[in-house]
Copies of this chain bind each other. A is one copy, B any other.
Amino acid sequence: MVVAEIRIELKQGVADPEGQNTRKALELLGFKGIKGVRSIKFFEVELDAPAEEAKKQCEEMCRRLLANPVIQKFKITVK
């Protein structure tokens, strides 16, 4: 059994309101020196499959359900 980590983040240039608002909130709390905050979505999927096969399955999961290819990119790491 393998654990696949799926990291889904916004493509370069796409607005990240969650990140921007988190930054504002942190600054309001008094944190200094923040140059940017990006929000990223992560899934850890336990799969009963060999590593190579698990990676392919996770790519398919991203394409079909987890990610929006118009604005997001994904990266899969199998452990």
Contact = CB atoms under 8 A, between A and B. Distances in A.
A42 B43 contact: no
Interface residues on A, range: 20 to 34
B45 A34 contact: yes
Contacts of A1: 35
Interface string A18-31: 01001001100101
A46 B36 contact: yes
Copies of this chain, count:
2
Nearest to A60: B31
A7 interface: yes
Nearest to A47: B33
A3 to B, nearest CB: 9
